[in-house]
Structure 1
Amino acid sequence: MTEWKLFADLAERAGDKHVTVDASAGDTVGDALEELLAGRPDLDERVRDDDGELRSQINVLRNGTNVLVEEDGLETELEADDELALFPPVSGG
């Protein structure tokens, strides 16, 4: 089992700031994301576009590192005790 931490409106759409999904070591971040979005159409619509692609402004972190920039993207393999997080766009003010 893997836990996602969700922030801002993503947590509101999912109904919680912490969501546990059925993904474990050897699965990919993408597998865990699919589990997170399954059955949560409001969250899915916010995270992916009409083509099913991850929206460019969504950040996917594994242990504090953006997998879309630093690692193998959604193909990054999970390890035991990984911490996953999903962030919407961040704006300053």
Structure 2
Amino acid sequence: MEWKLFADLAEVAGGRTVRVSAGPGDTVGDALDDLLEARPALRDRVLEDGELADHINLLRNGTNVLHQDGLETELESGDELALFPPVSGGSEGSRRS
């Protein structure tokens, strides 16, 4: 399974993608544990009091896991996992690529 990391999370992790050992039948929480074990510097940025921080968006196949079964959401073959930090404001021009 592979995580895609965005913005400062990619900087903290040292890359935009991180492969973990979790796979089909495991949970999103298992994959998150694997990610934080592989990239411990992310822990303080992603967790608050041992739980996923409210401001972090954790997506499975483009859908926030909070709209599924949370960290207990079961992984399936081909799933894409992504972590996004909060989106910051700015002028319209500064958000264009």
Name the TM-score, length of structure 2 as normaliser: 0.89
User: Which stretches in structure 1 are left out of the alignment for 5+ residues?
Assistant: none
Partners of 2:42 and 2:9 in 1: CA distance: 6
Alignment pair present for 1:54 and 2:52? yes
Residues 12/3 of structure 1: CA separation in 2 closer, same or farther (3 Å cut): same
* Aligned positions, number: 90
What amino acid sits opposite 1:23 in the alignment?
A
- The residue number in structure 2 matching 1:64 is 62
Deviation at 1:60, TM superposition (A): 0.3
Task: Quote the sequence identity (%).
Answer: 71
Name the TM-score, length of structure 1 as normaliser: 0.92
Deviation at 1:63, TM superposition (A): 0.3
What amino acid sits opposite 1:54 in the alignment?
L
Partners of 1:47 and 1:55 in 2: CA distance: 6
Partners of 2:17 and 2:38 in 1: CA distance: 16
Q: 2:85 aligns with which of 80, 88, 91?
A: 88
Q: Who wins on radius of gyration, i.e. which is larger?
A: 2
- The residue number in structure 2 matching 1:33 is 32
Deviation at 1:40, TM superposition (A): 2.5
Partners of 1:26 and 1:39 in 2: CA distance: 20
CA deviation digits over 1:1-49, x for unaligned, max 9? x000000110011111010000110000000000000142321110012
User: Which stretches in structure 2 are left out of the alignment for 5+ residues?
Assistant: 91-97
C-alpha RMSD over aligned residues: 0.9
What amino acid sits opposite 1:91 in the alignment?
S
CA deviation digits over 1:45-85, x for unaligned, max 9? 10012x211110000000000001x1000000000010000
